Structure formats: structure tokens, C-alpha cells
Amino acid sequence: MAEIRPFRGVRYNQKLVSLDAAICPPYDVIGPEQNDELLASSEYNFIRLEAAQSKSGDNEKDNKFTRTRDLLDIWLKKNVLKVENEPALYLHDHYFSFGGKHYQRRGLITTVRLEEWDKMVVRPHEGTLAEPKKERLELMRVTRAGISPIMALYEDPAKRLAALLEQVSRQQPDVNSTGGDEKHRLWVITGKSLLEKIAEGLTSEPLYIADGHHRYESALAYAREMRAQNPGAGPGADFNFVLMTLIDFDDPGLLVLPPHRLLRGLSAQTLAGLPSRLEELFTIKRLPLDESVWPKVTRLLEEGEPSQDTVVVVGLEPEQALVLKLKDPAAAKLLMPGFHSGRYPHLLVSIVDRLILESLLGLGSSHEDPNLGYFYDPAQAVGLVRSGEYQLAFLLSPVKTTVIKDVADSRVRMPRKATYFYPKLPSGLVFYKMG
């Protein structure tokens, strides 16, 4: 179903640039402090293309998008960046650690034909916001490039594709980079026969967006614009394809973290009335918030069923972790907005967002509320409550990949920030420059 296509990737010239100091995270996770660190790490750090900053006095002809385009042109002319001699696919092994464990995640970097959502060739699982799409669309218009890859998942039940990629990985990598606690190995795949076999291994399967919904929808909008402006362009036009890193659903390094919800700015009256309101919907079990609680909380969060209805709350009562279990899922479903159906009302993240944050606490449906924070380490989240930076922490279970697939197959979208694929794909290893 999905059509992948080798492309002439753009990569750093390793004779001139140290990749260890050049690659960066994607734009949406770079905070101000890290932004400054990346800029200082190398004059060629990819953040200058990935997340250029606005300046006072910006106008239509001189702004962060035009500056990105101009810098990209300069780096290409100076041979800081080089375009691959021939179309290729790229095998990327990403090594990282989390929670004291070491992981290796394998991805295939390619371009994929853009398809409208209703064709179900590429399937989303989360909703999007207008502003991030506007930003990425303008960047694509001006630079004519796919700067950072979208992460997508695929099924490989017979492991034919896995065998082909394993064959590639036995060769010497073209890129061997270590940055911080992460390592990257990249192989450039060219031989026509092997490229065809890899493409064949994916043509019968749909793809599932894991991370990068905004980038995909921006690329779709750009392709529509370009087709309208170039009615004679054929289906093989560069703008009909988007940069992706494809990862097997069964990859042992595919780590999905739950974005725990943290709240502040709540009035004393709201906090005082919350326990009784929670008791109307949930049974409540209290655990002393000491070192012995963490194994119990970890089991609750990591070993629950995909649609489990248990959430752990910290901050509502001193030195207590409150374990909430939904009393009547069917009754709770009736409290959800009427347009949500299928698996949506049964997802733990939906229960927290819609029933607790919106219905009981009166927050709006926007996930950009300045009093709402998202953290992925439960111990860090609890520490922020204990320090007084936040008032409440709602600790969630990770969403299993089987649930992500099920939700996407049923044409339902989870609430935003329901999943966090850790770590994010790096930007700067290889990217897509359209003709």
C-alpha cells in the first residue's frame, strides 16, 4: 500500500564537520537553554536549519525562513553539506539509554509517497494544532526541503525486511557518531537489486505515524499547493514525497513513554473540592509516598492492560499517592464529548484529559495551557510537585503499540500528547532536498 522511494539525501561532509557536534533534536523539543548549547557546540550545528529563530525587524524578505534557505544554500556551496551521488535508502541504528537500560532502535530512512488520510495508506493516531503546521509549511515552501524525518511504524510479520536490513548492518557503517549519551550508525544503501527488495517488503503494508503528525500534514498541504501551481507535474514529482524513518512495530528498541500531566495555578477551593468529586467516579486507594511506593506504582503503570482505567495522583493529599480506579467505564463514557467514539473513551489518557482535567477541574481542551506541564519520568514529576513548582501530578501508563495501531485502524485519534516515542529522531543525519 505504501510507496517508498530512494532519494539523493543531503548529509554533512564528515571531512569538514564533526557529526557529534552537528546533529540536534527536532524543533519541537528544543528549549531555550538547549538551543543556546547547540548553537555554541558548532558553527554548523543543524539547529540553524531545524529551528532558526525570529529577530526583531523580520519582514517578508528577511525572516527565519529565508535565513534558513540562504544558510542551506551557503552550506551546500561550501561543501559543508553534500548531496548523495545516487538515490539511496539509509539504515539508521540509534543507541540510547533510559531508566538504567540500554536500547537499540533500528530505522529505515526513506521518502514515502504522500497520501491523504482517507486512503488509509498512512494512518495517524493523534490530533494536531494549526500553528505548528503553519510554521513547518512555510519552512517547506521557502527551503523546498524536508528538514527532519517523520517517525512511522510498519508491520513485518515474516521478518523479510528485518533480514535484509540485518544483512546491510553487517557492513562497515558510513556514519559512526556519538553525541552525549546517544550513538548513531548510518548505512547508505544503493544497489538496485537490494533497494527493490526492500521496497517490495513494504508495499503491502500501511504506515502508522508515530511522531511527526504536524510535519506530515504540512507536507500534504505543500503537495496540494505545488500540484495546483504545476498541473503538468507528474506523480513522480519530488513534492509528492515526504521524508520518513520507518520502524518495525516489533523493534525491541521502540520505547513509548506516557506524558504524565502536571498542574499548577489551581485555587485552594478547587483543590479542596476535588477529592469528593473524584470519589463520584473513582475508587481511591492510598499509598504512603515513600521509597517503598515506587515498585508498586511502577507495576501499576507498566503492567496494566492497554485500556486500563487506573491513574496515580500525587499532590492532592500530603505524602500520599492516590490510586484512582474508574468505577463504571460505561457511565464515564457518557460524560465524554459526543463526537468521540470507538476506543477513545476507554483510553486512560482520554479519561484523565476529558473527565478529570476538563470536567472536574475546568481546564480548556487546549494542550497549550501554561499551567499544564508534561513530563516523562514519574520520579521527576513527583519531585516537581514536592518542590512546589506544580500542585498535582497525574501519572499515566504508557500506551502500547498495539493500542496505537488499533486506534489508527479504527480512524480514531487520541488526545494530543498521548504518546512520547523516546528518544526523538535526530535531525541532521540526512535530509530531503527537493529539486
DSSP string, 74-108: HHHHTTSEEE-SS-BEEEEEEEEEETTEEEEEEEE
Same domain, 293 and 203: no
304 pLDDT band, cuts 50/70/90, is low
What domain range includes position 68?
Answer: 4-255+422-433
Structural domain includes residue 407 = no
Q: The whole model's pTM is what?
A: 0.93
Residues 3-24: pLDDT tens digits?
A: 999 999 999 999 999 999 999 9
Structural domain includes residue 402 = no
Structural domain includes residue 413 = no
Same domain, 17 and 128: yes
Structural domain includes residue 120 = yes
Instruction: Write b or e for each residue in 73-103: b if 16 or more Cβ atoms lie within 10 A of its Cβ, otherwise e.
Output: eebeeeebbbebeeebbbbbbbebeeeeeeb
Same domain, 296 and 352: yes
Same domain, 107 and 10: yes
Same domain, 88 and 146: yes
pLDDT of residue 359: 86
The number of folded domains in the chain is 2
Average pLDDT, stretch 57-62?
93
pLDDT of residue 341: 54
Same domain, 80 and 199: yes
Residues 165-179: pLDDT tens digits?
A: 999 999 999 999 987
- For residue 299, give the C-alpha cell: 507495576
Structural domain includes residue 412 = no
pLDDT at 367 over 60: no
Strand extents, DSSP E, 371-434 = 372-375, 392-395, 420-422, 432-433
pLDDT of residue 306: 42
- For residue 392, give the C-alpha cell: 498535582
Same domain, 33 and 129: yes
Same domain, 49 and 11: yes
Structural domain includes residue 417 = no
Give how far the C-alpha of residue 228 lies from the chain's centroid of Cα atoms, to the nearest Å: 30
- For residue 10, give the C-alpha cell: 543531503
pLDDT of residue 132: 82
Cell 529505515 belongs to which residue? 108
Same domain, 58 and 128: yes
Same domain, 126 and 204: yes
pLDDT of residue 340: 55
Distance between CA atoms of residues 146 and 138, nearest Å: 11
Q: What are phi and psi of 107, to 5 degrees?
A: -135, 155
Mean confidence (pLDDT) of the chain: 91
Strand extents, DSSP E, 264-356 = 282-288, 310-314, 320-326
